[in-house]
Amino acid sequence: MEFQAKWIRTSEETGGVCPVFRKGWKTEKKVERATLYLTALGVYEAHLNGKRVGKYVLAPGWTAYDKRLQYQEYDITDLLREENELTVTLGKGWFRSPMPGWQDTPDKLQRIGRPGGILGGVHIVYMDGSEEVIVTDQSWIWGESRIRFSEIYDGEFCDDTFVTKEWNTVKEFAWSKEILIPQEGEEIREQEVVAAKSVFRTPAGEMVVDFGQEITGYVEFTVDAHAGDRIHILHGEVLDAEGNFYNANYRSAKAEITYICSEGTQTWHPALTFFGFRYLLLDEFPGEATPEQFRGIAVYSDIRKTGEIQTSDPALNQLISNIFWGQRDNFLDVPTDCPQRDERLGWTGDAQVFTKTASYNFDVERFFTKWLHDLAADQMENGAVGHVVPDYLVGGNASAAWADAATICPWQIYQTYGNPQILKDQFTSMKKWVDYVTNHTTTPCLWTGGEHFGDWLGLDAPQGSYKGSSREDFIASAFYAHSTELVVKAGHVIGEDVTAYEALHENIVETFRNTYPDYRTQTEHILAVQFGLAEDCQKTADALAQMIRDDGCQMRTGFVGTPYILHVLSNYGHTDLAYTLLCRKEYPSWLYAVGKGATTIWEHWDGIMENGEFWSTDMNSFNHYAYGSVADWIYEQAAGIRVVEEHPGFEKAWIQPKPGDQLEWLGASIETRHGKISSRWTHTDDAIRYEIVTPVPAQIVIGEKEYAVEPGKYIFWE
Q: 3-state DSSP call for residue 523?
A: helix
Domains of the chain in sequence order:
8-185 (2.60.120.260), 189-301 (2.60.120.260), 304-638 (1.50.10.10), 653-717 (2.60.420.10)
How high is the pLDDT of residue 575? 98
Alpha carbons 469 and 520: distance in angstroms, whole number? 9
Confidence of residue 371 (pLDDT cuts 50, 70, 90): very high
| Residues paired with 95 in a beta bridge | none
Per residue in 583-639, pLDDT (tens digit) is: 999 999 999 999 999 999 999 999 999 999 998 888 999 999 999 999 999 999 999
Other beta carbons less than 10 A from residue 321's beta carbon: 16
Sequence letter at residue 65: Y
- Give the Cα separation of 535 and 546 in Å (integer): 18
Residue 24 has a pLDDT of: 98
Angle in degrees, 0-180, between the axes of helices 421-440 and 499-515, rounded to the nearest 10: 50
pLDDT band for 465, please (50, 70, 90 cuts). confident
- Which run of H or E residues covers position 280? strand 275-284
Residue 467's Cβ-side half-sphere holds a number of Cα atoms within 13 Å equal to 14
Note if 603 is an active site residue.
yes
Model pLDDT, residue 195: 98
Provide the percentage of residues in the chain whose pLDDT is more than 70.
100
Q: Give tens-digit pLDDT for 666-708.
A: 999 999 999 999 999 999 999 999 999 999 999 999 999 999 9
Region 420-434 average pLDDT: 98
Angle, alpha carbons 499-504-506 (nearest 5°): 100
Average pLDDT of the residues of the chain: 97
CA distance 255 to 476: 37
CA atoms within 13 A on the CB side of 712: 8
Q: What angle do CA 403, 408, 412 make, to 5 degrees?
A: 150
Residue-level pLDDT at 617: 85
pLDDT at site 463: 86
In the predicted structure, residue 396 carries a pLDDT above the cut 80? no
Average pLDDT of 16-42? 97
- Write out pLDDT tens, residues 276-293: 999 999 999 999 999 999
Percent of the chain that is helix, strand, coil (3-state, to 5): 25, 30, 40
pLDDT higher than 70, residue 1: no
pLDDT band for position 43 (50/70/90)?
very high
How confident is the model at residue 231, as a pLDDT?
A: 98
Spot the catalytic one: 144, 237, 485, 603: 603
CB-CB neighbours of 264 under 10 Å: 10
pLDDT at residue 2 greater than cutoff 70: no
pTM value?
Answer: 0.98
Residue 591 falls in which region: left (phi positive, over 0), alpha (psi -120 to 50) or beta:
alpha
Q: Percent of the chain having pLDDT more than 90?
A: 97
Distance separating alpha carbons of residues 558 and 602, to the nearest angstrom: 13
Residue-wise pLDDT for 526-550, tens only, equals 999 999 999 999 999 999 999 999 9
Residue pair 519/525 in contact (Cβ under 8 Å)? The answer is yes
- Please answer whether residues 278 and 237 qualify as being in contact, where contact means their C-beta atoms are separated by less than 8 angstroms: yes
Exposure string over 526-554, b if 16+ CB within 10 A, otherwise e: bbbbbbebbeebeebbbbbbeebeeeeeb
Dump pLDDT digits (tens) for 44-86: 999 999 999 999 999 999 999 999 999 999 999 999 999 999 9
How confident is the model at residue 563, as a pLDDT? 98
Per-residue pLDDT, 583: 98
Q: Which residues face 626 on adjacent strands?
A: none
What pLDDT, on a 0 to 100 scale, did the predictor assign at position 464? 81
Has 131 been annotated as catalytic?
Answer: no
pLDDT digits (tens, 9 = 90+) for 93-136: 999 999 999 988 899 999 999 999 999 999 999 999 999 999 99
Contacts (Cβ under 8 Å, ≥6 apart) of 541: 525, 529, 568, 569, 571, 572, 573, 574
Question: Which residue type, as a one-letter code, is found at position 716?
Answer: F
Q: Which residues pair with 84 in a beta bridge?
A: 25
Give the mean pLDDT of 21-50.
97
pLDDT of residue 303 exceeding 80: yes
The residue from 156, 343, 365, 671 that is catalytic is: 343
Taking residues 256-277, report their average pLDDT. 98
Residue partners of 514: CB distance under 8 A and separation at least 6: none
